[in-house]
Structure 1
Amino acid sequence: MNFKSSYLQGVYDGLEARNAEQKEFLQAVGEVLESLEPVVAANPKLEELGVIERIVEPERIIQFRVSWVDDKGKVQVNRGYRVQFNSAIGPYKGGLRLHPSVNLSVIKFLGFEQIFKNSLTTLPIGGGKGGSDFDPKGKSDMEIMRFCQAFMTELSKHIGADTDVPAGDIGVGGREIGYMYGQYKRLRNEFTGVLTGKGLSYGGSLARTEATGYGVCYFTQEMLKSAKNTSFEGKTVAVSGAGNVAIYAIQKAYQLGAKPVTCSDSTGWIYDPEGIDVDLLKEVKEVKRARLSEYAAARPSAEYHEKKNGEHGVWQYKVDIALPCATQNELDENDAKMLIDNGVLAVSEGANMPSTPEAVAAFQKAGVLFGPAKAANAGGVATSALEMSQNSERLHWSFEEVDSKLKGIMEGIFHACDDAAKKYGMEGNYVAGANIAGFEKVADAMIAQGIAY
């Protein structure tokens, strides 16, 4: 990375020297620091007080062994993580990811992004992230339970309702949260809102399952309305992924008048020109936990394609809106150029950092509306924070109440990004706007709390 600011260049170079192998983390930091150049230039106090040096270094990193026994009686060992990145504006808040790709770089990148995402929600939550390289695919319910209990046995020493409140992420849904919460309660002998994404019978919130997918659509709708005076109505949508975020982004896109025509999983993708059948997709992915090939087998209008290197997958079709909802760096520059050539109007990130820097640059150069992950996919953590509020008050809000609050938060996030971008002469650059708006609140809190912090 090359920065105009010698201060930012020095911070990044030092970080790179200490974390040379952590490419995902360095990518995330580089993108944020690039956006902050005009902020640093206008606020010399940030350099004087070492705010940037402090915000890129986690407050605490916890790494631990997770030993569990599989159904054959064999001991298995995985590695667990919790990165408590920044608590300037509230307790650490961020998901737990269970996936073979999980390593310290991935968790640090996610935790760093979470700082700014959580700040944008306007709710009092700091940034953190955790997980393990455990792969839940192909495991029995009993194996999942034993792993989750072993994982929580160590993690429980480091979290709490006013300290660190984890949630779900890739590989961690209601089943896994239930097993982890049961173990936490057993170990600590307390019933508190220490995890979010819980079942409705023991403190969970309505609309939490739908929140990230719904949120990315609410953000996109407000972006379309404000920047182009248009909406989802009558638009065709490409969605990647077939997990929680993708399913409910597809559902909300339908509700807003659009037609989603794609989804994908780790083995391949679906193109359904008649529109994705949400009920069938839920049955295949949420009930059967099966591959998308089963969707195609049950849906005559659907085409199933095996995943192959070098193919554009869901991004090769002519669509108006693209919602990448699978995983990091899934949409590259070539994919972006194909979407641009096919006339895409807007792209919003439902996953964390799913577009490569080159893809983002291509969208921005072409004038495509681009909603970055830390803004567009903040609906999940926003609703997690609403779950924390309900737990603290011992209340249970209706679906409509939560959904209405979520919609208002996502619209507010768009305008915070828009306003920050305009303030620093970068109108329409919502990547910079999100980074700046999220950063300024956290930086103010860090400065107010003193250097030792």
Structure 2
Amino acid sequence: MHAKLLAARDQVLARNPGEIEFHQAVDEVFESLGPVMDRHPEFVEAAVLERLCEPERQIIFRVPWTDDSGKVQINRGFRVEYNSALGPYKGGLRFHPSVYLGIVKFLGFEQIFKNALTGMPIGGGKGGSDFDPRGRSDAEVMRFCQSFMTELYRHIGEYTDVPAGDIGVGGREIGYLFGQYKRITNRYESGVLTGKGLSWGGSLVRPEATGYGTVLFANEMAKTRGRSIEGRRVVVSGSGNVAIYAIAKAQQLGAQVVACSDSSGYVVDEDGIDLDLLRQVKEVERGRLKDYALRRGSAVAYVEGGSVWDVDAEVALPCATQNELGETAAVRLVKAGVKVVAEGANMPSTPEAVAVFQKAGVLFGPGKAANAGGVATSALEMQQNASRDSWTFEHTEERLSEIMVGIHDRCAATAEEYGQPGNYVLGANIAGFVKVAKAMLAQGLI
């Protein structure tokens, strides 16, 4: 790591002990920024990095609610409003037992650069709770969301902080959250949340956007080597929203998606994943991949546990969760001939895995670039809300495609400018950082 960055990095670790994921996200960015510090000494003098690593605001609150048996439950809620140099804080809410402050800070830190890369006027933030919606009734989820919003509402607004969904927060949860916000504030402020239902302020393409965008980015990377992803063998981790729509877009582009996973195991379907059946099982029935395999019968292989990265692929799309793809899996994928890796989840590849891919010359798209389609379309939803307008699916998808191509080209050009062509990690980190840093300098010592 560049000498000028070591002191700032050590300060971050000392001030945020035990937050492993946050430390990893900071290190990943800092490793890229040495050339920027040499070229822009004003960033060092103004302590831009030190300020950027300290959130503007960290909110932690109690969320009491009652379950269906009448028992009182207590969860913890978080919102980290990280950086507003480019616009109101923007980033999802995650409801999952693993959520703690370090996870939310890592996600919020990543969000700063991701949002900057979209070219949209949005800052970075993230939030959530250690509440687990799995296995809970609709009534329990509603009561939790209402309690959560009863505290959160005072911190958000269309010009202040605009949350969206993430793991564990889909259309159902956004609906309950929005309803409570409207009830408390007595305002129909559509732009305060994104990922809303189509009949009450949502945007077409928003459910598809993260998965679609990841594949569009992968396709742009592949084209720099003279061949798109058409006809290529693809493996996707996860089977939630992002994974489902990554599979859909890859199939639209002519790729052969043969495997996907959930927390219990993975399926290999050599004839190609049956997307209609997968959506029925996961989205409608909220079932498991084991149910998908049972209905497909002998056409598929279901593997309990294990790693989906044991399946050979030319294109790998990690779309599940952080640090799911480690060094051993990366080595195996490289030996099997993987050519393109694009992250649909946030930081799903460990630093060791990223190093393996880069050393082998694999095209690697980091999450802050490859999965930015979701937040970009959220910003498009905000535009439609502000203008009281509603765009067609075709128009919105075209805008998403333009944004993803723009992100790819921006990352590629920046990597080229700094002497490392094809290094999308460096390109994404530097392009996002420089944009935010210049805005911070222009706004004074804040």
TM-score norm. by structure 1 comes to 0.97
2:252 matched to 1:255? Answer: yes
| 1:317 Cα deviation from its structure 2 partner | 1.7
The equivalent residue for 1:160 is 157
Deviation (angstroms), 1:177: 0.2
Note the C-alpha offset of 1:426.
Answer: 1.1
What is the aligned partner in structure 1 of residue 441 from structure 2? Answer: 447
| Aligned twin of 1:18 | 15
Equivalent residues in 2 for 1:33-432, closer than 5 Å: 33-192=30-189, 193-225=191-223, 227-300=224-297, 301-307=299-305, 311=306, 313-432=307-426
Q: How many angstroms apart in 2 are the aligned matches of 1:299 and 1:203?
A: 37
Q: In structure 1, what residue type is equivalent to 2:326? A: D
2:135, 2:255 → 1: CA distance?
35
- Structure 1 residue 30 displacement after superposition: 0.5
Secondary structure of the 1:426 match is coil
Deviation readout 1:262-301 (Å, 9 max, x if unpaired): 1111111111111110000000000000111000000021
CA distance in 1, matches of 2:70, 2:437: 50
Deviation at 1:158, TM superposition (A): 0.1
Alpha-carbon distance between aligned partners in 1 of 2:175 and 2:302, rounded to the nearest angstrom: 34
Cα distance in 1 for partners of 2:43, 2:269 equals: 51
Mapped partners of 1:268, 1:409: distance in 2: 34
Q: CA deviation at 1:229?
A: 1.1
| Structure 2 Cα separation of the partners of residues 233 and 376 of structure 1 | 18
User: 1: distance between equivalents of 2:419 and 2:29?
Assistant: 17
Please give the alpha-carbon distance, in whole angstroms, between the structure 2 residues aligned to 1:23 and 1:421.
28
Secondary structure of 1:80 counterpart: strand
Counterpart-to-counterpart distance in 2, 1:231 and 1:143? 46
1:383 is matched by which residue type in structure 2? T
Secondary structure, counterpart of 1:289 in structure 2: coil
Paired residue type of 2:225:
K
Give the aligned residue type for 1:283: Q
CA distance in 1, matches of 2:17, 2:389: 47
Report the Cα distance in structure 1 between the residues aligned to 2:272 and 2:184, rounded to whole angstroms. Answer: 47
Q: Deviations over 1:293-326 (max 9, x none)?
A: 000000021111111xxx4x11112211000000
Could you list the per-position Cα deviations for residues 231-257 of structure 1 after superposition, in whole angstroms to 9, with x for gaps in the alignment? Answer: 111101000001000000000000000
Question: 2: CA distance between counterparts of 1:20 and 1:34?
Answer: 20
2:167 is paired with a residue whose SS is coil
> What is the CA-CA distance between 1:52 and the residue it aligns to?
0.5
**Distance in 2, Cα, partners of 1:217 & 1:152:** 34
Q: CA deviation at 1:4?
A: 2.6
SS in structure 1 at match of 2:436: helix
**In the TM superposition, what is the alpha-carbon distance from 1:178 to its structure 2 partner?**
0.2
Q: Which runs of 5+ in 2 are unaligned?
A: none
User: Which residue identity lines up with residue 54 of structure 2 in the other structure?
Assistant: E
CA deviation digits over 1:17-50, x for unaligned, max 9? 1112000000000110110111011111111111
Secondary structure in structure 1 of the residue aligned to 2:192: coil
For 2:337, what is the secondary structure of its paired residue?
A: coil
SS class of match (1:437) = helix
TM-score normalised per structure 2: 0.99
SS of the residue corresponding to residue 74 of structure 2 reads: strand
SS of the residue 1:191 aligns to: coil
Q: Percent identity?
A: 64
In structure 2, what is the Cα distance between the partners aligned to 1:261 and 1:448? 49
Letter in 1 for 2:424: Y
Distance in 2 (CA, whole Å) between partners of 1:228 and 1:316 is: 25
Whole-angstrom distance in 2 between the partners of 1:411 and 1:344: 22
Kindly report the root-mean-square deviation, in angstroms, between the aligned alpha carbons of the 2 structures: 0.6
In the alignment, the residues of structure 2 paired with residue 86 and residue 351 of structure 1 have an alpha-carbon distance, to the nearest angstrom, of: 21
| CA deviation profile, 1:63-102 (whole Å, cap 9, x unmatched) | 0000000000000000000000000000000000000000
Distance in 2, matches of 1:349 and 1:52, equals: 25
- Give, in whole Å, the separation in 2 of the partners of 1:23 and 1:290: 32
Distance 1:37 1:31 in 2: 12
Letter in 2 for 1:364: Q
Q: 1 CA distance for matches of 2:2 and 2:291?
A: 52
Q: Which moved more, 1:319-328 or 1:265-274?
A: 265-274
In 2, the alpha carbon distance for the partners of 1:16 and 1:87 equals 23
| Counterpart position of 2:2 | 4
1:382-405 CA-partner distances (Å, limit 9, x unpaired): 000000000000000000011000
Amino acid at match of 2:265: G
Aligned residue type for 2:288:
R
- Distance in 1, matches of 2:413 and 2:316, equals 24
Partner-residue secondary structure (3-state), 2:404? helix
Aligned partner letter, 1:315:
W
- Cα distance in 2, alignment partners of residues 408 and 158 from structure 1: 32
